[in-house]
């Protein structure tokens, strides 16, 4: 008897939910700044290389979850310095936008393991799913979808376009073929227009603040420094942009095709780290 889609979803979730983790970043005050997704492949966790560009972050928590998706099965914490030191160099991975770090034997106990597809031919209409971290709900979730198209990004890499719920915390999540249970791609939002617009807005605000800081305190009116007021307004703009960015949700997204990553994540290669 052929399995139903819901049966296949349940089977993949049961088999692989402990292969997917959240990677959460905390400030010096203990506030949760943001988080993304990673997944276990062999003895390593693969994720988006945004983790190598941490700013204003004090601590990193990697969490794997029980079958309910919200109860923490294992938590691993690092200081920012120690965590960055675990990451493979960008040049080790051809600056492709992803990185990984190794897990010790003790850290791997009880965890599951995802596999890459062996024959990743482009198939439009293919039923896929993601297992991804949800920042707002602080859990991992299964999200069904299907492949709608393929495209090339600015670096010439093939991106899988798929229909599904998209938000910033899904970066680094696996895109899984429902029929085989194998990873076809890794989610990346960096090529979405909304992400590029946020990065550009942040860059402009940072440049404005840097310029304003150079003349701060040179003029005052009734004991008010107008330059300081302008700096505050630019920081408010950055804050508003970040809140919008971290809460946006779209119905289509992109994943880098796994063919580009198979050799880079080969278990027999001795990795080089930062």
pLDDT value of position 79: 95
Report yes or no on 218 lying in a domain: no
- Both structure tokens of 175: 């895109």
What secondary structure, in 3-state letters, does 81-128 show? HHHHHHCECCHHHCCCCEEEEECCHHHHCCCCCCCECCCCCCCCCCEE
Residue 200's Cβ-count burial label (10 Å; 0-12, 13-18, 19+) is exposed
Report yes or no on 271 lying in a domain: no
Q: How far apart are CA 127 and CA 146, in angstroms?
A: 4
Report yes or no on 205 lying in a domain: no
pLDDT value of position 184: 95
Nearest Cα neighbor of 37 from 54, 28, 50 is 50
Question: Each residue's pLDDT tens digit in the chain (274 positions)?
Answer: 678 989 999 999 999 999 999 999 999 999 998 899 999 999 999 999 988 887 789 999 999 999 999 999 999 999 999 999 999 877 777 778 899 999 999 999 999 999 998 877 889 999 999 999 998 899 999 999 999 999 888 788 889 999 876 677 889 999 999 999 999 999 987 655 555 555 666 677 677 777 777 777 776 766 777 777 677 777 776 666 565 555 555 456 889 998 877 777 765 655 555 5
pLDDT value of position 11: 96
3-state helix, strand, coil in the chain (%, to 5): 30, 35, 35
**Domains: count for the chain:** 1
Report yes or no on 222 lying in a domain: no
Strand order in the sheet with 44-48: 72-79, 59-65, 20-26, 32-41, 44-48, 98-102
Report yes or no on 79 lying in a domain: yes
Q: How far apart are CA 222 and CA 226, in angstroms?
A: 10
Q: How far apart are CA 135 and CA 67, in angstroms?
A: 18
Report yes or no on 266 lying in a domain: no
Domain that holds residue 74: 5-192+247-260
pLDDT value of position 204: 73
Q: How far apart are CA 241 and CA 197, in angstroms?
A: 10
CATH number at residue 10: 2.40.10.120
**HSE of 213 in the Cβ direction (CA atoms, 13 Å)?**
8
Report yes or no on 81 lying in a domain: yes
Report yes or no on 238 lying in a domain: no
- Both structure tokens of 255: 């994943």
């Amino acid at each position: 008897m052929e399995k139903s889609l819901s049966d296949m979803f349940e089977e993949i979730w049961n088999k692989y939910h402990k292969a997917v983790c959240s990677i959460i970043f905390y400030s010096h005050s203990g506030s949760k700044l943001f988080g993304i997704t990673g997944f276990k492949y062999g003895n390593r966790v693969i994720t988006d290389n945004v983790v190598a560009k941490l700013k204003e972050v004090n601590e990193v928590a990697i969490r794997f979850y029980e079958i309910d998706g919200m109860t923490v099965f294992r938590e691993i914490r690092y200081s920012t310095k120690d965590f960055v030191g675990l990451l493979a160099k960008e040049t080790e991975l051809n600056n492709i936008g992803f990185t990984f770090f190794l897990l010790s034997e003790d850290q791997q106990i009880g965890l599951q393991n995802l596999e890459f597809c062996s024959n990743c031919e482009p198939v439009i209409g293919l039923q896929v799913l993601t297992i991804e971290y949800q920042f707002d709900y602080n859990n991992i979730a299964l999200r069904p979808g299907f492949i709608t198209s393929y495209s090339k990004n600015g670096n010439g890499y093939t991106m899988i376009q798929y229909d599904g719920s998209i938000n910033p915390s899904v970066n680094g999540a696996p895109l899984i073929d429902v029929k085989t249970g194998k990873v076809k791609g890794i989610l990346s939002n960096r090529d979405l227009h909304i992400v590029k617009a946020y990065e550009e807005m942040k860059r402009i605000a940072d440049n404005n603040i840097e310029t304003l800081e150079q003349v701060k305190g040179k003029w005052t009116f009734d004991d008010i420094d107008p330059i300081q007021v302008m700096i505050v307004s630019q920081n408010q703009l950055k804050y508003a942009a970040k809140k919008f960015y971290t809460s946006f949700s779209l119905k289509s997204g992109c994943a880098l095709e796994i063919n580009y990553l198979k050799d880079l994540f080969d278990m027999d290669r001795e990795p080089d780290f930062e």
